Amino acid sequence: MKVEINHLTKVIQGNVVLDDINACFSCAYRRKTGDGFYGIQGINGSGKTMLMRVICGLVLPTMGTVSIDGEIIGKGISFPRSIGLLLENPIFIDEFTGAKNLSLLCDIKRLVSQAQIGDTLRRVGLNPSDKRPFRKYSLGMKQKIGIIQALMENPDILILDEPFNALDEKSVLLLRKLLCQRRDEGKLIIVTSHHKDDIEAICDEVIVMQDGTLKKTNDEGKQMRNKGVAVAQ
């Protein structure tokens, strides 16, 4: 699985939001070290979320291309064929439980059973039998439901924008473990965070986003995991 970004630029109302980005994110099936789990670190407003939207096909670039295994988004395909996505403030039905919301989403493709939904809820520390409506969930619980909807159909690519927001320390550790398991299964994972520590501890490769451009990191994260830095020209 490979995501290639070539000379990607996005201009909105005369403002350059993404500026000539070149990068390559790839993974190898069941390769346990060296690739597959990428982190993008940057402050709010640096362009992280916009880049994720363009990779997913939700926003088309002004110039340049994004391709998935050679297929160009917006030309060969409209969206990646197998992707799980968490972007800011996912919307769920307030009157339904978290499990019910997830069940409705699963009915679209029918790839996941009720038992699998329950298992995934438990793996992130939620009770599948919780009868409270979604509107009464804490911010952390709502974030977990958003994460689960991205994970539950076992997609080949995971795009998670600030997945650690609102999570307590125990939940962060559970999510890190779950994501590393997916990486080891050969999934391509890209996560963003404005906190460097969130991603340097687990990602194979890390890059920094600043003012709409990708910058190489220093070697701190590399020393932590003895790994490299994502391709960024």
Domain final residue pick, 154, 182, 209:
154
Q: Answer whether residue 148 is part of any domain.
A: yes
Predicted confidence at residue 226, as pLDDT, reads: 46
Q: Answer whether residue 203 is part of any domain.
A: yes
Q: Answer whether residue 113 is part of any domain.
A: yes
pTM exceeding the 0.75 threshold for the entire prediction: yes
Predicted confidence at residue 201, as pLDDT, reads: 87
Co-location of 31 and 140 in the same domain? no
Mean pLDDT for each consecutive 10-residue tract of the chain (233 residues)?
Answer: 95 96 82 74 94 96 96 92 91 96 93 92 94 96 96 95 94 93 93 89 92 74 44 41
Q: 206: exposed, middle or buried (C-beta count within 10 Å: 0-12, 13-18, 19+)? A: buried
Domain extent, residue 67, equals: 1-82+166-233
Could you give the angle at which helices 139-151 and 169-184 cross, rounded to 10 degrees?
Answer: 10
Co-location of 7 and 72 in the same domain? yes
